[in-house]
Amino acid sequence: MATVAVAAVFGLLGGILGASVAQDLNFGASDEGSEATTQNTSAPVVVANGDDLVGETAIAKVAERLASSVVTILSTVEDDAGGGRAVGSGVVLTSDGEILTNAHVVEDASEVVVRFAGETEPRAAKVLASDPGNDLALIKVDATGLIAATFAKPGSVRIGDTVVAIGYALALDGGPTVTSGIVSALKRTIETDSGALNSLIQTDAAISSGNSGGPLVNLKGEVVGINTAVARGDYDSAANNIGFSISVDEVLIVIEQLRDQARGVERKDGFLGVGLAAREDGGQGAIITDVQPGSPADKAGILVDDVVLAVDGEPIDGQAGLVAAIRDAEPGQTVKIEIFRDGKRLTFEATLIARSE
């Protein structure tokens, strides 16, 4: 249905433009008719000889390099509402068929198929593992000799870096859509229907529906993030060119967790044992509203009204950021929590336990 709607919009625009051009061409003609003026010319149309390879830009090279490593993913979903289809993108991890995408692309899917650029037929795919909290999923197709994408070194992304988003935006026919922009910000945290996502890259490269799960790459053709969400305006606010990608730092960790999950290793989230509230005074951090007796937070000495500023050196910009940071840590892991209390910065160490179901 989405593809049909888009085609209708394109058609409507074409019709409007056609009418405008026709009116402009007839502007000034009298109703009684006038003699038409015909101009003849023998001047040739100028056509480039192709010696100047304008297409050999850095972005063009990146698009060519990743073309075989980005796929379109179609999921068939069956639910109480009658089901439907979800479309997204994915990036090839291994030559033998591992593909990474967003968890929400394959959520509740009864069937998943993958199509590579240049191919006409889809390939059946199996969901190996999914992590909705981090919005990443691992799927696999029966194949060999695939071209795997290269991932950037963690910590190498900088604000202002030129980046390219590649994916099957709006499920348009043909190859993947390529857009470019810069890294606008790092370590963003947002809340989604599945929970909080942290350590995100913010970019102004255009990201649309269908781009989900596709790569954000640098000018070396290295994957720096997995595109996952965009900010949309409402009646209270405007949002332009604000998209988010899960950073390579987070992606590489979650990939290994997904592979463990696929092998049957149960994944448990870390648990601190606190209640939280957002700051309303414009300051940074999350406010502790409750500390469960005997919890890791209680044993560490954290108190109600403490403001959490950072976990293991990573700034906490709000309660969603703290939830995500603790969720991503493993039970038994000791984390350093920076607190603001009575005008002082204090650091506490808390050894997390597993979250109970």
Active-site residue numbers? 104, 135, 212
Cβ atoms within 10 Å of 217's Cβ, excluding its own: 32
Dmax (CA) of the chain: 96
Distance CA 202, CA 244 (A): 5
Q: Please provide residue 80's backbone torsions phi and psi, each rounded to the nearest 5 degrees.
A: -65, -25
Of 96, 89, 95, 103, the residue nearest 138 (C-alpha): 103
Beta bridge partners of 85: 76
The DSSP output letter for 83 is -
CB–CB of 350/274 below 8 Å? no
Angle at 276 between CA 275 and CA 282, to 5 degrees: 165
Strands 162-167 and 243-247 come out as unpaired
The two three-digit tokens of residue 105, written as one number: 């692309």
The two three-digit tokens of residue 130, written as one number: 């999914």
Angle at 15 between CA 14 and CA 17, to 5 degrees: 65
Query: Among all chains, which residue has been given the structure tokens 């209708």?
Result: 8
